[in-house]
Structure 1
Amino acid sequence: MDACVKNIPLQTSPAQDLSSLQTNQRPSAAEVEAAVGVLLRWTGDNPEREGLIDTPKRVAKAYREMFSGYEQDPAEELGRTFEEVEGYDDMVLIRDISFHSHCEHHMVPIIGKAHVAYLPDGKVVGLSKIARTVDIFAHRLQTQEAMTAQIAHVIQDVLQPRGVAVLIEAEHMCMAMRGIRKQGSTTLTTTFTGAFRDHPEEQARFMMMLRGLSR
């Protein structure tokens, strides 16, 4: 089991991403489909055979879905908060948020779960917004380390809680399907901000809650 802790800045905003794509003339659907056809020929298969005739269109459509995170802004998802919390100021933990992402090095899947906690400072956010934030970053080309930090920092920046804790555990198909080919190897990454970073007892409580609720 590998584990690492990193503080990595957020990637460029979706607006900047889209602006960059427009500046670089984002390829048309026809160009994408043609590129998929080239890849099919490169594998040694025949893109004209029955089973592959519509594959370029299917791949282009699938890519728009799998990488839709570039067109979404996590800050907007987190923007609506609730201040009627009856004085609640203890940890909010959302665990086992399943996700699928893609490694930016080989463009193969990363499959895992995210566990996200924060310490409210007078306001909370809808629980589904945390899960959607995870999905937005997952639907981009990623490294697990960067994704962990991005989730933590955007929650910290938008909600301004007393602290955020994010732990991601995932299996990387670039290790399972190619190269070293080690199936079942899990990588853990964590990012802590605020009170979770500055007070080890809060980190310990976060980890204890995860272990205590594990099946």
Structure 2
Amino acid sequence: REEGRSMAVRIITLRAFSLRVVGGHSTLRRWPPLQRFLSNSTSEEEKAVQEQRPARLAIKAAILTFIAVKGWETFGNSGTFMLESTLTLLRSRHPQTQHDAVSRLDRWHTSDTALHHIVESGHISTLVNVLASPSAAARNLTLEVLCRLASLDSALVPLRDAQALTTARASCETIGDPLEAERCRALGDKLALLLGDASALEVSSSQSSG
């Protein structure tokens, strides 16, 4: 009786899992009922994955949208954020640092947002002070920025209060390089036009002709 049970167990085991060797590797041939069970389980898992796919895609889309929005907000505010560091350099008393700051203003901070921030933060007078720099290039770059600011209505009064045009005229007269001096006077004329100061423009013209 025990031998019969043992034989039955062997037969069931052999039917459930029979081994065969193919190319030196053992492959498992499953018992058909077990194979059907595994096949059903796999199909159910695949079905569950397919059902969850729309939800996963929606979550990914929401995450990407959030990242895109935050990135756009950061990019939109980056000009003002970087401008603060430039204005800090502008307030330096070191001529080379001032020159670097004005160069950054001329190259990087030309948007209306940046220009309005310069006006609202009270840095027009700081820019006018750079017109006393020993560097002629720094003076002319500063005049470029001042002319750009003069295109804003909100900057006209602060520019007049800071005596930007008078300071610019005096600055141009002390530049030794003829080319830089000529460029300075041309920028001064442009600033006079933007400020609506026709009398200053006439004085400049008479000085140039004389």
- The answer to whether TM tops 0.5 is no
Please report the TM-score for the alignment, with normalisation by the length of structure 2.
0.31
Which structure has more strand as a fraction of its residues?
1
The structure with more radius of gyration: 2
Please report the TM-score for the alignment, with normalisation by the length of structure 1.
0.30
Which structure has more helix as a fraction of its residues?
2
